[in-house]
Amino acid sequence: MRHTRKARRALTAVAIASGLALTVAGCGGGGDGKGKSSTSSPPVQKTQSGDKAQPSATPTSDAPLAEVKGGEGVTLTITSALRDSGGFVTISGKVANTSGKVIALGRWAGDESELAGNSASMAGASLVDKVGKKKYLILRDTSGRCLCTKFDGAFLANAEKDFYAQFPAPPASTKSVEFQIADMPPATIDLTDGE
């Protein structure tokens, strides 16, 4: 029992530390007052043309790992699924509004009462290990804030937003999982081992 409590404390400490690190990284800016609205996301590198590249903590790849389309004209593209040595998985990618109208992603926060304060965010996402028959819910800090992207304001027509979401890592033997959120179809993705 004592070992279980120690393990839980260690996992909570890792989740809080990584959440704080991501918050600090997300708050950095050029100081010109013209930055984008603040969303929690990993640092992003710029290419020579000025376009956004993949988050710096993830390997770059031309082809996405998965892409699914929802009924409201939302397209979710997963570009990275990185298993970290600290015991968690970071999923990142883009959400695009191809509906031609303004939409809200409020229901993406999920139904858990603990996550109710996350409003429009990736808080309702989960990973399903079909082989291990286990579902992994999003990591959150002790205040119930998810370790994920929170979307500010309305999602305008033809807009695209970057996202990330962190989960406890499945066993090393699990090589692929299903990413699920709201009413979007499940996306099967292969996990990449990080450092």
Structure tokens at 129: 């290990």
CA distance linking residue 17 with residue 72, whole number of Å? 36
Query: pLDDT digit string (tens) for 57-72?
Result: 444 456 899 999 987 8
CA distance linking residue 194 with residue 41, whole number of Å? 18
CA distance linking residue 48 with residue 39, whole number of Å? 24
Which of the two residues, 9 and 23, has the higher pLDDT score?
Answer: 9
Structure tokens at 57: 């903590």
Backbone angles phi, psi at 22, to 5 degrees: -70, -35
CA distance linking residue 132 with residue 188, whole number of Å? 15
Map out the domains of the chain as residue ranges.
2-193
Query: pLDDT digit string (tens) for 120-153?
Result: 889 889 999 999 999 999 999 888 888 999 887 7
